[in-house]
Amino acid sequence: MDKTNRASGLDYAKGSIPGLFMKVFLPTLAGMIFNALITIIDGVFVGRGVGPDGIAAVNIIAPLFMITTGIGLMFGIGGSVTAGIALASKDNIKANRIMTSSFVFSTAIIALLVLGAFVFTDGVASLLGSSERLMDKTTGYLLYLLPGIIPLMWQSIGMMVIRLDGSPKYAMLCNAIPAVLNVVLDWWFVFPLGMGVRGAALATSISCIVGGTMALAYFRWSYVLKFTRHLEGSLRMVKNQIVIGSSAFITEIAMSVMMFTGNIVFMRFYGEAGVAAYSIACYLFPLIFMINNAVAQSAQPIISVNYGCGDRRRVREGLRVSLRAAVICGILASLGIGVGAKAIVEMFIPASSEAGQLAVGGLPIYSTAAIFFAINIAFIGFYQSIEKSMTALVLTLLRGIIILVPMFLVLPAVFPAWGMWGTIPATEMITLGITLGTYRRLCKQG
């Protein structure tokens, strides 16, 4: 750990916590925004080049993308927390084993997922909610997306572990360079080559391959963390990573459930136009998540290292800094989406279309979720960092599935005018009340 401090200038155990947070947060935020932009850019080009059916097809396949990112974040967060604690104890060999096992075991899991999706393409598309009218577009998008799934997972893990190693700027580049490349390739494949949704998926795959390769290449010259062939005790390490990072995985699963359930509800009420309108909100949600996840994950190495050192005062200060940043980001996101709803819709589809009108009316309601969501994610990240994985997991399940799904079924029936759009804000608000109660109990326990 001392070597990392000298090389990178990030002394998580002794440095100014607000200063450390900003040094990590700014490149982490940029990197995560670029990561979210890959999906948003797909939507913009598909919406403009193919139309509402194209954007609906992409949204139907998006849960698979989210599951992959979730597995990557699970191993990335679990690996960076456990490796951070090992580094705090100056056990660099163990930290290397933890990092290597993250990549090896997650790759094996994703390889099985990719193989299953390739063999049962039509079945996967149907399972995710594709109608017959959208089937050709959804299966085409899925097949061209599969080559980039494993590298996407490497990119997600690398973003976390590289930051722990003391290189947040390089972690940012692993997302920024693929995002810029994706813009260029999306335009080229969708418009000049006329490849439609398949072109957008191919652009995403190539971009993910570049980002994943950059993440792997980093460990040839990294400060402390390096790949190792010695994986003694790796199964136990992987178990710990899964337990600690499981709430990050569940968060991505929750977004998949949100998309899947929402697609079904909107399809039932408004048909394909409803799914297209809801798709725009779904494109924005990963951006909101990534911004607030940047807050939580920028505080994570500070909190986990000081937790490993037994310094409770610095742990609490890390949480306070994280919460202040989360509130600011949540307010800005809510105002940006609410005020700019029409302009946002116009980026994807004409606001005068049926789907466009639904989205313009619904986004201001949907945007109020950002503030509650930001605070929830900050607390979940805090619990991950201090190895209270079960608390983080329960809160994630509440906001992502247990409360969300019933709300999606009840609110639209009770309040047809706004219930579908108000489901996510209501879910986040209820979860925040539970989150604050949980933290008060923790404080009383000392």
Q: How far is CA 86 from CA 46, 67, 79, in A?
A: 45, 28, 10
Residue 106 Rama label (left phi>0; alpha psi -120 to 50; beta): alpha
Element (H, E) at 112: helix 92-119
d(CA 389, CA 384): 5
- The DSSP symbol for 147 reads G
C-beta separation of 101 from 237 below 8 A = yes
Lookup: tokens for 239: 């178990």
Total domains, the chain: 1
Q: Is the pTM of this model over 0.75?
A: no
CA contacts within 13 A on the Cβ side of 24 = 35
Beta carbons of 301 and 79 less than 8 angstroms apart = no
* pLDDT tens over the chain, length 446 residues: 444 444 445 677 788 888 888 888 887 787 777 767 766 777 788 888 888 788 878 878 877 777 888 888 888 888 888 888 888 778 888 888 888 888 988 899 899 989 998 998 888 888 877 778 888 888 999 999 999 999 998 988 888 888 777 787 888 888 889 888 988 998 999 998 989 889 989 999 999 999 999 999 998 887 778 888 877 777 888 888 888 777 678 777 777 777 778 878 888 888 878 888 888 888 787 788 888 888 887 888 888 888 878 788 888 898 999 999 999 999 999 999 999 999 999 988 888 888 889 999 999 999 999 999 999 999 988 887 887 878 888 888 888 789 988 998 888 888 877 888 999 899 999 999 999 998 888 877 75
For residues 235 and 262, give the distance between their C-alpha atoms in angstroms, rounded to a whole number.
Answer: 37
**What are the start-end ranges of the H helices in 310-418?**
312-339, 341-348, 354-367, 369-385, 389-397, 404-414
- Residue 212 is part of which domain span? 2-445
